[in-house]
A and B are shown apart, each in its own frame.
Chain A
Amino acid sequence: MKKGTHLELTIVLCVLAASIFWPLVVNGYWLGIGVDAMMYIALATSWVLFSGPTHYISLASAAFFGVGGFAVGLGMSDYDMSFWSMLIISAVAGTLLAALVGVATLRLSGVYFVIFTLGLAEMIRNLVSWVQNNFLGSRGLYVLTDFNDQHLFWMLLLTTATIYITGWLISRSRLGFALRIIGGDETVAKHVGINTAFAKIILFTTTGLFGAIVGAIIAPRWSYIEPNQVFSPQLSFFVVIMALLGGSGRLWGPIVGVVPFLLIWNWVDANFPSQSILVLGLAFLLIVYFLPRGVLGRLEDLYVKLKKRII
């Protein structure tokens, strides 16, 4: 992942700032799409934060999202805690979990890392269900709040902005420099004295922190929290897919990946309501064949062509 420039930061922050007005100008449906978009952008950006520089594909997004959602559900439903206190607890829990996962995966690489994270997330899902069954004696986790989509959109927007700024700062720091070397060749990185373990763990922790926060924010939207839904592996796959579709070369890849993708999804829903999954699959295939390196790849090709023309 390349080092962030001031130009990029300015543009992204302007776009995000402009998005503040989104809930004020659109109605329920497009606001809802906005919430979905913000959720995936937040999750995918936080994913790219880690995966972009290191090239490690993590399928653990659902584990952190689930921790956030489940914590809010449990705290608010069974212990009468407030949403905000559970949000903080979720963030802490997500960070700790990610740190543990980071330590566990230090010796893994390539596809072994990918599937390890998947297995770990699935183990957590099963454990949480088991704990809920045997110890919590709960009758369903209801998160009934007065938040509406507007509030959630702004909360997610703030989260996305924070993720982006964090990533931008890291990319310009020594840590980011170290991570780029690790992504280039990890053995070389170790030999030049970079503490690869520390770098990877710190970075992975941010994925957990932000993943849990997003999960916590979405909990009020779903209102009824079940472990098999909040820890659903489908989410992990979607986050990776959207991040890769956008392109993991830059931190703003998810923004240009998620938005067009959700628009395509919306178009499919509107025109093929009974066969949406089939057509979505076809859309995936087409995207993969015509955008070899994601949207970013296409944009970069265009940029290069434009530059050549100008020169």
Chain B
Amino acid sequence: MLDILVSGLLLSGTYALVAMGLNLQYGVAKIMNLANGEVLVLGALASFWLFTTQNLSPLITVLILVPLSFIGNWLIYKFLMLPLVRRSKSKGALEVDSILSTFGMSFIIIGIMVSIEGGFFAYKYLSHPIEIIGSTTSVNRLMAFVLASIIALMLYVWLNVSRQGMAVRAVSVSNEAAGLVGINVVAVSGLAFAIGGMVTAIGGALISTFITLDASIGVVYTMKALIIVIMGGVGDIRGSVIAAVILGVVETAVATLVDPGLTLASAYFIFICVLLLRPQGLFGRPTS
């Protein structure tokens, strides 16, 4: 039982890292970013490459990624997404446009990554066993969990305590209303998009220490992120965290008690059940 709890929570840490970034990008900036998984893999590639060529610890890579991925994603928002935001006449139109363009972006990123490293990012870091309340796990997973929790906490505090965070939450509720009270919606959206991308890239660097990724696996993580964000409800970071916890624990429980072959099927099953009971997700606003 303890095994399930510990492994499940650690897996939730991984899932939270994968999903929090997309929650910001979609919930606030209203960009359905289908290239989210590729940004994750970019972070992983950076970590792998720096570790195997320069012997640089992935934790250092994370520090390097903070400014780099922030700026990178901010540039993507300003030059690729903003023109679409400006010209879209409705929320639906922006969604369609962002789906199409981020899909194209994902292909471009895959193409770039494959030319750097076409094979598996196979390395291990801090792969030592450690015992947590009677259950064995590895240090790298624990580290990812701890950092995921810190990031989630920091985001929650920022969003709910700071003035900037309030502006961000206002934009996620309604662009028009936020604009009317004097919030610079474009600036806030850009900020959210950049932070979201940054969190995703950092997440990728962290999970690459224990999951062997490659340039093409991004789409699997994009789908996972989408499931988690929607299940948790768009726009509220708590939703994504809770959804990540539920999925992590359920998957681990099913794998241990029933059949590992049903792990992913059960995750989707829970997701479907949640939406059937609460069509707006756990923490989402009821849609009219």
Contact = CB atoms under 8 A, between A and B. Distances in A.
* Direct interface between A and B, CB < 8 A: yes
Given A110-B287, A116-B272, A118-B226, A284 B262 contact: no
Contacts of B262: 126-127, 130
Given A122-B223, A187-B288, A285-B80, A278 B108 contact: yes
Contacts of A139: none
A55 B272 CA distance: 21
Contact of A112 (B83, B84, B95, B281): B281
B49 interface: no
Interface centre among A133, A241, A245 (most CB of B within 10 A): A241
Q: Is the interface of A mostly helix, strand, loop or mixed?
A: helix
Contacts of A148: none
Contacts, number: 128
A119 interface: yes
A126 B268 contact: yes
B15 to A, nearest CB: 14
B103 A237 contact: yes
Interface in A125-160: 126-127, 129-130, 133-134
A151 B288 CA distance: 48
Q: Is the interface of B mostly helix, strand, loop or mixed?
A: helix
Interface residues of A, number: 45
Interface in B184-225: 219, 223
A281 B264 contact: no
A119 B100 contact: no
Contacts of A292: 87, 97
B264 A122 contact: yes
Interface in B238-288: 259, 261-262, 264-265, 268-269, 271-272, 275-276, 279-281, 284, 287-288
**Shortest beta-carbon contacts, A-B, top 5:** A278-B111, A284-B104, A281-B107, A123-B268, A281-B108
Interface of B: 26, 32, 34, 80, 83-84, 87, 92-93, 95-97, 99-101, 103-112, 114-115, 219, 223, 226-227, 229-230, 234, 259, 261-262, 264-265, 268-269, 271-272, 275-276, 279-281, 284, 287-288
